A and B are shown apart, each in its own frame.
Chain A
Amino acid sequence: MSVLAHGIGAQHDLPLSPFYAFAGAFAALFVSFLALGLLWSSSRFRGDRAGRPLPAAVQRLADARPTRIAVRVLGSAAALLVTLHLLLGPDDPDRNPAPGAVYVLLWVGLVPASLLLGPVWRLFNPLRTVHLLGCRVLGRDPAAGRPLPVRLGLWPAAAGLLAFTWLELVAPDPASTTALLLFLSLYAAVHLAGAARHGAGWFDHADAFEVYSGLLARLSPLGRRPTDRRLVLRSPFNGLDATPQTPGLVATVCVMLGSTAYDGFSDAPSWIVTVQTSPLGRTTAATLGLLGAVALVATLYALCAGATRLISGQLRHPLTVFAHSLVPIALGYLIAHYFTLFVTEGSRTVMVASGTDNPVPPEPPLGPGGVATLQVAAIVLGHVLGVIAAHDRSVRLFPPGRAVAGQLPLLVLMITYTIGGLSLLIA
């Protein structure tokens, strides 16, 4: 069952009241329809050419070698601390800060960090630092290595994300030190080997946490303009629009969406009963549930892409061309599902790490009504942003006559996802 039930955190958010949920769904539909066609007839987003440069001093500070080294040291020190806690600390998430550090501070904390500051995990990633140091010792160029096959794209990252979410949501005992040590050492071994063979570029494509952070950072107001390497403030839409259409992008986003959806329905009593009475055994049943959720999200998306192609004629990559519009939706779900967890368990983890023995987690900062409002707002806003991003992409790609018709399947998909997402919160 879920880590929320058995490893991290004893309290869950209340299920939403149907009133909130349906109000949210109708708001999403209304705004989406308005945005469609009426106000937006030509493409407004300029991708990564957009943005207002930050003052040179800020850029110098951000790019300065000491800053970078400090961040690397910080990331490696944190990783070392977590490993030591896992090796030497008690096998009890109430007393050992390591499980909370991985599942809450890293996994959930990457969301706000990437949203505010951009793809930060690249800088912190301790594996990258280890690889860099290894290359320094051997006198190799860190970037050198066999080129990665283009078709591989983000697929390794999607697999890594699936493995991590499996550990978090399905594994029998996700917060035990054994499970975490095993996963982390296996993960480190795979990625250090990959980097040794293919150079540091491996991490850009294959490291699940870097890709996750990078995709969320597409919605950050802080970006880097590739033409002149300047740090710029830009509209999140422009960052999103510049998401490279790499193979495996759809898979990665579908794993993000599907695993969050699974996290939602794995709380429902009906699903727990299914799992605990399944003749297949709990882990197998839950694994099938997680894979099923990812597959369902992906199938719906593939159907929609097929329909778009049918309606609008030739499109070179019908699957990946709209994949970026799923990123804000995934973000909405992440906020809706993990806000309370992050605030309460995140601070509890810090308290454990600073030496308090088994502290009581703080009260959630919002009452039940506040949390419900935040959840609906996050999901609806995520879908609205997704619809806008997709709309802009379609008016750019399709001839004017077909632009509205061409995105109807996407609109239907977004509505399906919205209703699905909200019914998960009601359930």
Chain B
Amino acid sequence: MKNLRRRRWLARPGGAAVTVLAAGALVFGASACGGRATTHHKPGTSHEQAVGSVGRLLAADDGSGHRLRQVDAKGAPQVTVAVRRDSEDGWNVRLSVRNFRFTPDSVGGAALLGRGHARLFLDGHPLARVYGSWYHLPDSLVRSSGGGTGLTARLYADDHTAWAVNSTPIQATTSLTTASAQPTAPAPHRPETPRPDTALEIVVSHGKVSPAPGRTEIKKGRIIELRVRSDQADTLHVHGYDKEARLPAGKTVTLTFTADRTGLFEVETHESDLLLTQLVVR
């Protein structure tokens, strides 16, 4: 196939120059594109930081790219976190704050003392941003974040810098397993999670996907469960549904969701940029 017409092009006087230019454009284009544009951040999750004048912006960050904003210990925001097992699914998380107000309306704006939001982390992996004192943490989110038991709540300013005192972020940690008032062990709750109608098991190793990527047909409204294991730490992403899950290296991660939109959707990894499968939802 490579290629009758192109040679014919080149044989044309005048055509050649243009071809060279076009080829040049291709080469430049190929070399100039560095990292992929990040396309999957939903509103309010960007890492841009507006610079506010409250406190002192430290060079150190919170471990997830947000710089620390140091304030005096006196009058600084405070937080404590408590969890309670939910009778149906997951955990009820309660944040108690002092000298602090949740300000969802002004998120993204400049930092103001005693205002902002909280973020929840499970063993250091980001779980959610919280704009109030109560949050329900479903089991599915715990699973898709790679399990873990250490739940941390940390306070952030509107400009996404982390509030800090003495170069330490203002945060509180509790454990999901030893929490008080845990009525039942997590195991009996398993059967209550809806049974998936389709389950896919995918393994990524050495940049190879097995089984080889194909198409999976699903009826709209059915529940699909993806069980993915990767030999390298990565991020799993379902296009269109915008479902993401962290893939710790060598760990099987389960992502369950209801296929409630029709269309053709790609399931892929972000770091290695591999197509895992395509979901055909009719």
Contacts and interface: CB of A to CB of B under 8 A. Distances in A.
Given A14-B280, A155-B14, A173-B36, A295 B5 contact: yes
A157 to B, nearest CB: 9
Interface in B58-90: none
A136 interface: no
A295 B22 contact: no
Q: Is the interface of A mostly helix, strand, loop or mixed?
A: helix
B212 interface: yes
Which of B22, B28, B46 has the most CB atoms of chain A within a 10 A radius of its CB? B22
A92 interface: yes
Contacts, number: 167
B172 to A, nearest CB: 31
B213 A273 contact: yes
B282 interface: yes
B239 A11 contact: yes
Contacts of A296: 1
Q: Report which residue of B6, B25, B26 has the largest number of chain A beta carbons within 10 angstroms of its beta carbon.
A: B25
Contacts of A123: none
Interface residues of B, number: 59
Interface in A1-37: 1, 5-7, 10-15
Nearest to A17: B282
B24 to A, nearest CB: 8
Contact of B39 (A166, A175, A187, A251): A175
Interface string B16-31: 0011011011101110
Nearest to B215: A269
B4 A302 contact: yes
A295 B264 contact: no
A182 interface: yes
B6 A267 contact: no
Nearest to A248: B15
Contact of B263 (A7, A14, A94, A276): A14
Nearest to B265: A11
A340 to B, nearest CB: 9
28 contacts: A5-B239, A5-B275, A6-B39, A7-B39, A10-B240, A92-B37, A92-B41, A93-B39, A149-B14, A151-B12, A151-B14, A155-B14, A159-B21, A171-B30, A173-B33, A178-B33, A182-B28, A183-B29, A186-B25, A251-B5, A269-B214, A269-B275, A273-B209, A288-B2, A295-B2, A295-B4, A295-B6, A298-B4
Interface of A: 1, 5-7, 10-15, 90-95, 149, 151-152, 155-156, 159-160, 162-163, 166-167, 171-173, 175-179, 182-183, 186-187, 190, 206, 251, 254, 267, 269, 272-273, 276-277, 283, 287-288, 291-292, 294-296, 298-299, 302, 357-358, 364, 367-368
